[in-house]
Amino acid sequence: MKTTLLLASTLFLSAIPASAATTVTSATDATFTTTADSDWRYQFSLPGWLPSLNGHMIVKGEPLQLDLDVYDELLPNLSSTVMGSFEVGKGKWSFLTDLLYISLKPSGSLPRADFDMELQQFMGNFAVFYNVLDTEDSRMDVYGGVRVNWLKVDVDARGKGPLGRTFSKSSDMTWVDPIVGVRYQYDINEKTFITAMADVGGFGVASDFAGNALISLGYRVNDKLSLGVGYKANYSDYTDGDVTYDITEHGLLLSLDYAF
């Protein structure tokens, strides 16, 4: 029953690396050039990421297997979400802040219990970029930073029948993963371009391993505004006490970027 998957899926955002996690790094970089002698540059992005989830988790002794489709289970129970990113740079250097907040309030029925759940998640990516390649049609940056994750979830289950279980469980977690990565952009022509971005992190500091990757096709509406469509995948393997999160998120990524 997919309701079982929904109960597990409400914890999905703890898999951050959204990069992370999570909060989603812009799919486009239309006018954010990185020449060494350039003036200050600013770019604001409004991304939208629609991930499905696969993997497993353990929440205070409860093993849960995930195979969640975003359109069937996630969106109908979405209470609120806010995401956006801002990048500022000068010369070869730039700094990116990428934020996501989401609130889910699912309820439903399992074979042995009815449940109500409330989840709140914040994910923030903070990274410094350095340009290592800047030609007429190609640009590449390397970057390093941290991914901050906060997750709060409350579950109330009411048992059904003699074998049903009634319980209330809560979890409130915060962890920070170091990340390193690379971003590459190739201009197909004056209007269209391809962006690829990937990072790895965790390294046992918080998550055992965290990874994030995206590829997108961008279109420059003008010298300030651009649109992007692509695909993003994120993986996190995090364990802390009686909580384990080993989840892959993947799905369509849309973006609207404004540079000034």
* pLDDT given for residue 186 in this prediction: 98
Q: Which two tokens stand for residue 72?
A: 């069937």
Average pLDDT estimate for 10-15? 36
Domain boundaries, the chain: 2-259
Distance, CA of 152 to CA of 221 (rounded, Å): 40
Residue-wise pLDDT tens digits, 96-155? 999 988 787 766 666 666 777 777 778 889 999 999 999 999 999 999 999 998 878 777
CATH of domain 2-259: 2.40.128.100
Average pLDDT estimate for 66-82? 73
From 20-29, 167-176, 231-240, the region with the lowest mean pLDDT? 20-29
Round the average pLDDT of the chain to a whole number and report it: 80
* pLDDT given for residue 62 in this prediction: 67
Distance, CA of 242 to CA of 58 (rounded, Å): 7
Distance, CA of 228 to CA of 220 (rounded, Å): 9
